[in-house]
Structure 1
Amino acid sequence: MQESDVANRLIDAARECFLNDEYQRVTTRQIAAKAGVAVSMIRYYFGSKDGLYEDMIRQTLLPLIEAVEQLSLDGDWDFGDFFALYYSTMQENPKFPALILKVMALNQGPGKNVIRQLLERGRQRGTRRLAEIKGEETESEDPKYDLLRISFVSLAMLPMLAKPVLEEQMGHVMDPDFLKQLAEFNGRLLKSGLQSL
């Protein structure tokens, strides 16, 4: 078994355990057993349960952040692409939006700093790109960029957080086709908001 394989198995096992139970109730023994490795491997690769938890959050969110950054490098600014990417990522990890909410709003688990760092990375990149689009100088303190960013986060997260309730109210599931339509619609909303700034 290669070293990176052990670390990846621990990340996958941690994701499954932390998504299905509260942080305090999950033990390193459970995670190691699910990964099929010795408990000492958690300390070897991640230092502690906290370190493993933070790395699990980072590994789950980083591909999304990197993909968003790649989308923002070309000349087209299609917010619908961003929403579609977020929705598909969360569909693969349907319990993950609730985990993020628990970390950020309820302060559960040690992952708050990781999420804050990733959000700040996205904020800085997005602020620069939006300034380029508007043909303005970048002013990181300009509240209009925060308005746009918070709107994006709200439109992205709420449908995935409230998915069961929304599906019950609508009488149908939010399948990939529906989420594609929602992504396009939310993209148009955000673009309209940008033009009004």
Structure 2
Amino acid sequence: MNIAHQQSSDPVRTRLLKAALECFLADEYHKVTTRLIAEKADANISMIRYYFGSKEGLYEEMIRDTLGPLLDVLDGPMLSSAEGLSSFFRLYYDTMTTRPEFPKLILKVLALNQGPGRRFIQQLLERGRTRGARKVADLKTQGQIAPSIDPDILRMAFVSLAMTPMLLKDIFEEQMGHAMDDAFIEDLASFNGQLFTAGLAPAAHR
């Protein structure tokens, strides 16, 4: 068993990451103490230093732990065709539905520079940008998407459709008069995936 797998399966480390997510999403960074996180995780405070080095290290690992599976998709088979975008939307919505404050946290860090991690999050997003551009190039080579597609425009369009429902979830639910439940999210992911598939297709397939 390699070290990365050992860490990901370590119950104390897992509890600390879960507790950190709950604490940082519920309150401002400077108000969250390592003691509070350790107590919520039912762990010794020294384990935070052991696994993450510091409070900021834990904060960064919490973000990496949440965004990692989404970025890993860019290296996997899900987006080997334009149709996989529906699955990618669904993965994003599912990830953020279980962490509804997370998009707001990212927005606060990047737009308002509140809390640490701005450079770290930008590095993660740049990694996603690079991987995404490579995936777009592959799909162009295979003739699955139009050669004129700009990968940066595609990325911005995806982020807009992915983040907005999560950022404005309460407002949308109030306007619609019902919850964005699992069935609604499934339909939304499918519809957005179809929009992208149609928009990306070479002219002969439209």
TM-score (norm 2): 0.83
Structure-2 residue corresponding to 1:162? 168
Structure-2 separation of matches of 1:180 and 1:173: 13
Q: What does 1:125-164 correspond to in 2, within 5 Å?
A: 125-135=131-141, 144-164=150-170
- SS of the aligned residue for 2:44 comes to coil
Deviations 1:119-141 (A, max 9, x none): 222211221121222229xxxxx
Taking only aligned residues, the RMSD between alpha carbons, in angstroms, comes to 2.3
Structure-1 residue corresponding to 2:3? none
Structure-2 separation of matches of 1:168 and 1:158: 15
Deviations 1:16-48 (A, max 9, x none): 110111111101111111112222221222111
- SS of the aligned residue for 1:78 comes to helix
Shift of 1:171: 1.2
For this pair of structures, how many residues does the alignment match? Answer: 191
Which of 73, 79, 86 is the matching residue for 1:80? 86
Shift of 1:68: 4.6
Deviations 1:121-169 (A, max 9, x none): 2211221121222229xxxxx9921011001001000001100000101
Q: What does 1:1-197 correspond to in 2, within 5 Å?
A: 4-72=10-78, 74-75=80-81, 77-135=83-141, 144-195=150-201
CA gap of 1:39–1:57, structure 2 versus 1, over 3 A, is same
Letter in 1 for 2:193: G
Shift of 1:10: 1.3
Residue identity over aligned pairs, in percent, reads: 57
Q: Give ranges in structure 2 of 5+ residues lacking alignment.
A: 1-5, 143-147
- SS of the aligned residue for 1:38 comes to coil
TM-score (norm 1): 0.87
